[in-house]
Structure 1
Amino acid sequence: MYHPAHLRRTTTTREMKRQRGSIAMFFLLFLVVLLSFGAFAVDLARVSVARNELQNAADAAALSGASALMSGGNGGPAWQQAQTAAGSGVALNRSDGHTLTTATVLSGYWNLSGSPAGLQPTTITPGTDDVPAVQVMVTRAANVNGGAIDLLLGWVLKLLSTPGSATAVAVASAPGTVGAGGLFPVVLNRCLFDQYWNAQTNQPLIDPNSGQPYELNILNGQMDGGSCYAGQWTSFLTNANNVPTIRALMANGNPSPLSIGDSIWIEPGAKTTLYDSVPSNVTVVMPVATQIDIKSYVPIVAFAAFHIDQAVGGNQKYIQGHFVGGYRIPASATGVGPDYGAYIAPRLAG
């Protein structure tokens, strides 16, 4: 017969064993949960870094492509050169230690207002908000760019890898603002563009006789199309009608940034001694305005690229040159404006 004290000891021993077993089971379950959370935390950071690297690669490649878009000069956007440049740019990047070798690269027009959304074909007639663009999508997946992104602790969740991708669009657009030093002190009349600019391709019209853009004479009352005064001197924001001011502006450009909508001072007149100071065989950026025939302030409506071929003094006093397309403004420039051949540095859309 068992003694009661012995019975109590036996019962206590069994309970302790059951408790130890429960604690061990609970610990194992807790360890699995802990490892799962740890795996999630570690791999989430890893995947985030890898995907950020993919986005950086897509951004850089798209910008590289957009930089090449305007290499076509007067022939319009260089779509194929842009795609080639973007594809080459992808290979300069890595994701999670893997060199990227391939991407989906498309070129076309991007509507800056978002309507329509997405990349449009190169064959459309671009509207006011449609600008040349390059779109790049970089993907890590099975057998693509080193495969899907490896998960270091994914085995805990029976997930060994996960795909990743990134898309970027870069555009080349005309400026809405040109920074200090970026403008030549001559204002062009917008009516010139109605006659010598192809609004469908955003390129200068070609003279069938020469096979080159039409040659234009501007300043000193030169007219095109009957009542269209081709161009006039401007002192920008300052009301000044003297040669020293204009000569200084030719050398240094506009003293402060100018934007579409800002009013600039028109200075009709010959300014006889200025023509020896006009540079030749250079492309400059000029503001565009309307009604430039009298001394007054007029609003800027656009910025245009104009190639100065020569300056003629003496009795005639005019600047001869032609419109150009795809000219990258060397000064700082921002915003978006009508496309008259001058472009700002490429930027990411959105």
Structure 2
Amino acid sequence: MRTNGTRRKQKGAVAITVALCMVVLLGFAGLAIDIGNLLVARNQLQNAADAAAMAGAGCLIRRTECSNTTATQPDWTTATARASAFSTSTSTNKVQGAYVNVSTVSTGYWNVTGTPSGLEALPFTPTANDLPAVQVTIHKDGTNANGAVPTFLSKVLGVQILKTSAVATAVLSQPGSVGPGGLFPLAMSKCLYDNYWDQSTNSPKLSPNNNILPGTTVAQQTGQPYFFQIGSSYHYGACDSGQWTTFDQDNNSASYARSLLTGGNTTTFVIGASPGTWIQTGTENTLFNGTAACSAAGNGQCEWVTAPVVNTLSTNGFQPVVAFACLHILNAKNGSFPYVLVQMSNDMSHCETPNSGGFGSGYGSYTPPRLVQ
């Protein structure tokens, strides 16, 4: 028979057991809460690293907003400074209510095939598959001024802090594809661009003097990209000509092509893909008038454009696109020898082609910065 003393002892033992269990249960409950908080911090940290890497990659080449319009490419110094400044800005990138104080920025090349994998550190000689990249790493683990992720209820288990970090890598490339609205309906011959584009520096060739080029009417400006005229293949030589295109439509209508001057292509074009872009027949003087109206001399709606480049301008047929070029359209003239007056450019302020992706040969046009890690 149990006595009152025995029952009191049992009640005391149960109370101790319950108390111990409560500590453990509260610890695990606290750990669950703190793990959730850690995941939130990790997500905020990743967003901060992503944004900083993208900001840095946007300055890898010359860009007016980056104050590096005369920089050689890639501009590692400016890209690093921009990524670092963006990651620790006091107007962005809060993590758990506090701004990021410390980040690590690395630059190099990222191989799009994954062989080798990871960031290829400088100095490095890139191949066709290597893209200039900016990598940002941010730690919140108690090793620097960012601190660590604090715990709340987990302290009952002796867990004082939690650690996390984030890595983001952003790249720039010349587009391998351009989606709807990204292209101007003037197909250019590759040899024309080779006349005015320096492949060794990936930038426009600069005029050494103020002379007027043979067959043109505009004086050059010393040290500036060449002004050159693009005329119909019916009136100009192969390396001075372009031809109107209606992109994916077998259509020789001037009125339809004119509707594309500011609207652009309606489907995606990929370098080397068949059938390519449709090359119209005829000079289509009305299109030169329309281009003048939307050029820098007009309302500016087509002042900066990306144009498809083809090997040959054979009319009344499709031609594969071999590259995408950035053009500054200054004016256009119709008449017996109509032309579009342009300069080539690679200023990212104007040459970031919307809806573009992939990678390929290019003449000044670039994709928007994009994350690869």
- CA–CA distance in structure 1, aligned partners of residues 227 and 74 of structure 2: 22
- CA–CA distance in structure 2, aligned partners of residues 285 and 15 of structure 1: 91
**Larger deviation, residues 177-186 vs 52-61:** 177-186
* TM superposition shift of 1:25: 3.9
Specify whether residues 17 and 246 from structure 1 end up closer, same or farther in structure 2 by C-alpha distance, changes over 3 A only.
closer
Question: Is contact 1:126-1:200 (8 Å) kept?
Answer: no
2:330 to 295, 306, 309: 309
* TM superposition shift of 1:287: 0.8
Structural mapping, 1:178-257, within 5 Å: 178-209=178-209, 210-221=222-233, 222-223=236-237, 228=239, 230-257=241-268
Partner SS state of residue 219, structure 1:
strand
Structural mapping, 1:51-62, within 5 Å: 51-62=42-53
Partner SS state of residue 342, structure 1:
coil
Specify whether residues 254 and 119 from structure 1 end up closer, same or farther in structure 2 by C-alpha distance, changes over 3 A only.
same
Question: For residue 3 of structure 1, what is the aligned residue in structure 2?
Answer: none
Structure 2's unaligned 5+ residue stretches are 210-221, 297-302
Question: For residue 34 of structure 1, what is the aligned residue in structure 2?
Answer: 25
Partner SS state of residue 54, structure 2:
helix
1:295 to 316, 321, 325: 316
Partner SS state of residue 362, structure 2:
coil
- CA–CA distance in structure 1, aligned partners of residues 226 and 202 of structure 2: 15
Question: For residue 34 of structure 2, what is the aligned residue in structure 1?
Answer: 43
Specify whether residues 13 and 272 from structure 1 end up closer, same or farther in structure 2 by C-alpha distance, changes over 3 A only.
closer
Partner SS state of residue 102, structure 1:
coil
Q: Deviations over 1:212-269 (max 9, x none)?
A: 3344432323336xxx464222122222334333333224322444333252111254
Question: Is contact 2:306-2:351 (8 Å) kept?
Answer: no
Q: Deviations over 1:164-216 (max 9, x none)?
A: 21111122333333333332111122334545434454323344443333444
What is the TM-score with the length of structure 2 in the denominator?
A: 0.78
Find out whether 1:337 has 2:366 as its counterpart.
no
* TM superposition shift of 1:121: 4.5
What is the TM-score with the length of structure 1 in the denominator?
A: 0.83
- CA–CA distance in structure 1, aligned partners of residues 99 and 262 of structure 2: 48
* Structure label with greater radius of gyration: 1
Structure 1's unaligned 5+ residue stretches are 1-7
- CA–CA distance in structure 2, aligned partners of residues 121 and 323 of structure 1: 31
Partner amino acid, structure 1, of 2:277: I
- CA–CA distance in structure 2, aligned partners of residues 310 and 303 of structure 1: 20
Question: For residue 11 of structure 2, what is the aligned residue in structure 1?
Answer: 20
* TM superposition shift of 1:74: 6.6
Specify whether residues 334 and 146 from structure 1 end up closer, same or farther in structure 2 by C-alpha distance, changes over 3 A only.
closer
Partner amino acid, structure 2, of 1:308: I
**Larger deviation, residues 13-22 vs 133-142:** 13-22
Question: For residue 4 of structure 1, what is the aligned residue in structure 2?
Answer: none
* TM superposition shift of 1:79: 3.2
Report how many aligned residue pairs link the two structures. Answer: 338
Question: Is contact 1:125-1:200 (8 Å) kept?
Answer: no
1:276 to 271, 284, 289: 289
Partner SS state of residue 56, structure 1:
helix
Specify whether residues 54 and 252 from structure 1 end up closer, same or farther in structure 2 by C-alpha distance, changes over 3 A only.
closer
Structural mapping, 1:111-190, within 5 Å: 111-121=111-121, 124-142=124-142, 144-190=144-190
- CA–CA distance in structure 2, aligned partners of residues 102 and 24 of structure 1: 49
Question: For residue 216 of structure 2, what is the aligned residue in structure 1?
Answer: none
